[in-house]
Amino acid sequence: MKTRFLIAAGVVSGVATGYLLYAASVVQGQLDAVGLPDCRDPNLCWPSGAAMDALQGAHLVAGLVPLLIGVLLGATRSGGWALGAGVAATGVVAVTHRLVTAPYTVIANDYFETTELLHLNHPGFMVAVTALVIAAFGQRPSRGSLILAGLVAAVAVGATLVNPAGGPFAGDYRLADGVGWTLTVLLGLLAAALVQRSRKRESIPG
């Protein structure tokens, strides 16, 4: 049973990552077609048709996949491996979004502001969402899973340091990242509290 859920989470992560790469290619294709390959100004290259659909899909993937992976692995209640696997699976999607598709989201940022609140274009926040969902199911992480989670978190930090928006929008991303880091810390502390609660509950005899 544990293996099935691990495979399912891996499939979700792989499909989501593949879609993000596809979405980026669709948007870039439209920019190339109008002769503005590096445009990030919605007043000049507002996406339409397939490009707009691709950006909408990218936002939904970034917002919902961390929750889905957390539920898939947390519901197994099979031990600490779930935390490491969940953080790794979401980490791949989160870093891909930040480095590949997030640079395009500024083109239609106003159109997807509500959806963007689900992920904030922030790898740390996305990973923390998965960790919190898994912790909420009462998982007790092993030392190995904590090390893996730490490594993924380090990669997520590195990815978040890359500002995907330039020009007049760079400040907006810095502000959003400040919110993202704040929420990442809060969700991380809550996840840690839930894990500690789980440890205390397991230590009570009977």
Task: Indicate the domain borders of the chain.
Answer: 2-200
Q: What is the pLDDT of residue 123?
A: 95
pLDDT, one tens digit for every residue, the chain (206 residues): 588 999 999 999 999 999 999 999 999 999 999 999 999 888 899 999 999 999 999 999 999 999 999 999 988 876 678 888 999 999 999 999 999 999 998 899 888 988 999 999 999 999 999 999 998 887 777 777 778 888 888 899 899 888 887 767 778 888 889 999 999 999 999 988 888 887 776 666 55
Q: Write out the two tokens for 56.
A: 């909408």
Count Cβ atoms within 10 A of the Cβ of residue 65 and give its class: 0-12 exposed, 13-18 middle, 19 or more buried: buried
Q: What is the pLDDT of residue 152?
A: 87
CA 104/CA 28 separation, integer angstroms: 8
Instruction: Compute the residue count for the chain.
Output: 206
Write down the pTM of the prediction. 0.91
CA nearest to 155, candidates 104, 90, 100: 90
Query: What would the pLDDT profile of 102-158 be if each residue is shown by its tens digit?
Result: 999 889 988 898 899 999 999 999 999 999 999 888 777 777 777 888 888 889 989
CA 139/CA 142 separation, integer angstroms: 9
Contacts with 97 (C-beta within 8 Å, 6 or more apart), sequence order: 20, 58, 61, 62, 119, 121, 123, 126
3-state SS string for 77-91: CCCCHHHHHHHHHHH
Q: Tokens 């740390």 map to which residue? A: 124
CA 39/CA 29 separation, integer angstroms: 12
What is the number of H-type helices and E-type strands within the chain?
9, 0
Q: Tokens 């870093």 map to which residue? A: 95
- Check if the beta carbon of residue 62 is closer than 8 Å to that of residue 159: no
* CA atoms within 13 A of residue 84's CA, in its CB half-sphere: 15
Q: What is the pLDDT of residue 63?
A: 96
Helix ranges restricted to H, 34-110: 42-45, 50-74, 81-96, 102-105
> Given phi > 0 = left and psi -120 to 50 = alpha, else beta, which region is 166?
beta
Count Cβ atoms within 10 A of the Cβ of residue 48 and give its class: 0-12 exposed, 13-18 middle, 19 or more buried: exposed
